[in-house]
Structure 1
Amino acid sequence: MRAPVSIATPGSRRRAAQLHPGAWWLWSLGLGTAATRTTNPLLLALLIATAGYVVAAHRTPNSPTAYTAFAKLALAVLLIRLLFATALGSPIPGTHPLLTLPEVPLPHWAQGIRLGGEVTAEALLFAAYDGLRLAALLICVGAANALANPARLLKSLPGALYETGVAVVVALTFAPHLIADVQRLRAARRLRGRPDRGLRGLLQVGLPVLEGALERSVALAAAMDARGYGRTAEVPAPVRRTTAALTLGGLIGVCAGTYGLLTAAGGTYGVPVLLAGVVAALAGLRLGGRRSPRTRYRPDRWDARAWLVAGSGAAVAAALTLASVRDPEALHPGVVPLVAPTLPLWPAAAVLLGLLPAFIVPARSPEEPS
């Protein structure tokens, strides 16, 4: 008797090649955490290049355009930070003036605020370092949006967070659908020879767009009702009270532990309290998931590649956090006196660990859904 032969279908091979969306988010949050630990422009540029390379290696024409939108937002944030430093001044003293703007006199109660005046190279450089750090954080978050499908991530959330996750996913997908409807209707009006600009065009396009949004809302509500959304199971009262106590106590522990890590006096108790709070909150979420019984069709597997991807982001965050403690001058270059920043070798090598997903995760084909 011959043993049954398993046939690997293209769908099964595609599901095996897909990475758990939570791994992409943990990887990007690790890079974002590393970006918050330094103002060195060379390290920040290396973090941005790392995130961009991974996105380019795994992004397909059907992938979301969130990375481009976040990159534009990051550039806008950097320019706005430089504009504020130019117009409102900076507390950083400088000896290299670049230009002098007309200064607006302010009343005595607005002391400490300056409009116009002398703009120095040190002040602009300090603002550029600070703005680049926020820009790198936004680009890391944009990489997660481009690599992880929100619908797949929603399937992997704990049952206690399902309702919140649905609301977040619906809110995130509303704006792209609205923009697509506006572009489609404007193109249709141009083909018919009707105006699509100005107040008249806006009014004639706005009503169909709102009508389409209402129809999608009704269809989404019907689909959620057909799938039993909001159905809860009977949970004993002791389990409910234990869930509430663990969740509330865990959140308090996370807040207290984070405060301890940020203050010098709480360095001894910060880490244990934070870990205890995280464990208690996870236990509360685990028990709270019993109220929301759900089934998952083809659930995403957390395999060895997911551990490696998430671990590479965590390694980058841990390495730059350690470097910021041991060598703060290298990760936070000064601007007074005005000197060129240098690239620290071992933190830069640690940032390159973030490139690991580009080599261990197979690239998706253009026709494959994200």
Structure 2
Amino acid sequence: MPPANAALPADNRPADPAGNRAAGAARVGAGGTPSARASAPTPARHQRRGALHPGAWWLWALALGTAATRTTNPLLLTLLVTVSAYVVVTRRPHAPWSRSYGAFVKLALAVLLIRLLFTTLLGSPIPGTHTLLTLPEVPLPDWAQGIRLGGRVTAEGLTFALYDAMKLATLLICVGAANALANPARLLKSLPGALYEMGVAVVVALTFAPNLIADVQRLRAARRLRGRPDRGVRGLLQVGLPVLEGALERSVALAAAMDARGYGRTAHVPAPVRRTTAALTLGGLLGVCAGTYGLLTAAGGTYGIPVLLAGVAAAVAGLWLGGRRTVRTRYRPDRWDARAWLVTASGATVAALLFLAAARDPAALHPGVVPLEAPTLPLWPAAAVLVGLLPAFITPVPEAAVKEPS
């Protein structure tokens, strides 16, 4: 009786044991043994272990922005922008969301131009003696006293407007640095349990627009290959229906996946705990708003920091209590390691030292414009700003920027 595999074609039968061993060795050489593959970390896992916590980047950038609110010295503000730009250039990951830094720089330049344009057209409350040009003044009615259109444009008024606009522009650029360095999906995943639903909603909103654009591009390319119009009202109408159908299918799939994973299930929390959570969260957010207003205004410098700290403490306590009603786990949570503490501490050090410099030597951090004088760079506040460069040396280099050895 012939063997069971005798009826098989020759191409489907193993040639010889040596060939099997060679093929097995090739497969092992390509992927490694099972034990080696299990022990060797994958690139994605290695990248997640080496990546910095996104919250540390935001705290560092917000601290630099807070330091920018303490001075109008253009040299110090330029140094703050240079520090943030250097860190972004050296540590920005190669991802589509990290390209937003240029948009924030353009927005900051637009703020400068608009502020200078308004000062030129509407005048400035700063008196000045150095007249640059005189525009035709439009007469206004009596009820518009204090407002003028045109008139004399002085160097003192433009300088004051430039200093004030540079402060806001620096703050915008620091926020842009945080957007370019911190992964938004990982940041939203690291939200407290009390904000879990909001984080999921934001993630869905962030992923909907890119998928919609990709669907439109894919359908337009398919219509061009078939020789059909992809522009105009007709092309838009014929592309819109498949795009909406794809969006509906993704929404149904997402809803099914969320339901299968138990999304929306909450634990039983007593009524006193719910009331305490609501009171702490609301009071903490109001305290944060009042403290931030105090920090940004000269009149609230005395109460700004205590109210801000009390508000942050109350908000954190409220979010911690609110997270008790959410029964969920995190897959590969981002760890707050020693590097995250160092990055946060470097930004906080810059902010604290500039607060101290503004209290001890306000003239150096706020150069005068009446009479008009050239700004000077104070040495130890400038050295304090350079502390913000620490993340460029202690954080890992983005994976795509590492060159393979030849």
TM-score, normalised relative to structure 2: 0.78
Query: Does structure 1 retain, via aligned residues, the 8 Å contact 2:47–2:399?
Result: no
Alignment partner of 1:116: what SS? strand
Q: Tell me how far apart the structure 1 counterparts of residues 399 and 334 of structure 2 sit (CA, whole Å).
A: 19
- Structure number with greater Rg is 2
The CA deviation at 1:60 is: 4.0
Alignment of 1:14-163 (within 5 A): 14-64=47-97, 65-163=99-197
The CA deviation at 1:113 is: 0.7
Q: Tell me how far apart the structure 2 counterparts of residues 357 and 169 of structure 1 sit (CA, whole Å).
A: 27
Does 2:281 correspond to 1:247? Answer: yes
The CA deviation at 1:287 is: 1.0
Q: 1:298 pairs with 312, 332, 349, which one?
A: 332
Alignment of 1:334-345 (within 5 A): 334-345=368-379
Q: Tell me how far apart the structure 2 counterparts of residues 179 and 102 of structure 1 sit (CA, whole Å).
A: 49
The CA deviation at 1:162 is: 1.8
Instruction: Return 5+ residue gaps in structure 2 as ranges.
Output: 1-35
Question: Kindly tell me: are residues 292 and 244 of structure 1, through their superposed partners in 2, closer, same or farther at Cα, counting changes over 3 Å?
Answer: same
Query: Does structure 2 retain, via aligned residues, the 8 Å contact 1:62–1:366?
Result: no
Partner of 2:309: 275
Q: Tell me how far apart the structure 2 counterparts of residues 119 and 210 of structure 1 sit (CA, whole Å).
A: 56
The CA deviation at 1:58 is: 1.4
1:49-73 residue CA offsets vs partner (Å, 9 max, x unmatched):
1111111001244342111111111
Query: Does structure 2 retain, via aligned residues, the 8 Å contact 1:330–1:344?
Result: yes
Question: Kindly tell me: are residues 220 and 316 of structure 1, through their superposed partners in 2, closer, same or farther at Cα, counting changes over 3 Å?
Answer: farther
Q: 2:352 pairs with 292, 306, 318, which one?
A: 318
Query: Does structure 1 retain, via aligned residues, the 8 Å contact 2:93–2:181?
Result: no
Does 2:253 correspond to 1:219? Answer: no
Question: Kindly tell me: are residues 278 and 165 of structure 1, through their superposed partners in 2, closer, same or farther at Cα, counting changes over 3 Å?
Answer: same
Query: Does structure 2 retain, via aligned residues, the 8 Å contact 1:24–1:148?
Result: yes
Q: Tell me how far apart the structure 2 counterparts of residues 329 and 151 of structure 1 sit (CA, whole Å).
A: 43
Q: Tell me how far apart the structure 1 counterparts of residues 221 and 366 of structure 2 sit (CA, whole Å).
A: 50
The CA deviation at 1:23 is: 0.4
Does 2:320 correspond to 1:286? Answer: yes
1:70-122 residue CA offsets vs partner (Å, 9 max, x unmatched):
11111111111111111111111111111111111111100111111111111
Query: Does structure 2 retain, via aligned residues, the 8 Å contact 1:181–1:209?
Result: no
Question: Kindly tell me: are residues 121 and 20 of structure 1, through their superposed partners in 2, closer, same or farther at Cα, counting changes over 3 Å?
Answer: same
Letter in 2 for 1:237: A
Question: Kindly tell me: are residues 331 and 258 of structure 1, through their superposed partners in 2, closer, same or farther at Cα, counting changes over 3 Å?
Answer: same
Letter in 2 for 1:97: T
Partner of 2:31: none
Letter in 1 for 2:88: V
Q: Tell me how far apart the structure 1 counterparts of residues 222 and 116 of structure 2 sit (CA, whole Å).
A: 41
Question: Kindly tell me: are residues 211 and 195 of structure 1, through their superposed partners in 2, closer, same or farther at Cα, counting changes over 3 Å?
Answer: closer
Q: Tell me how far apart the structure 2 counterparts of residues 35 and 210 of structure 1 sit (CA, whole Å).
A: 49
Report sequence identity in percent. 72
Aligned residues: 360
Q: 2:361 pairs with 315, 321, 327, which one?
A: 327
Relative contact order, CA 8 A, sep 6+: which one is greater? 1
Q: Tell me how far apart the structure 2 counterparts of residues 137 and 203 of structure 1 sit (CA, whole Å).
A: 45
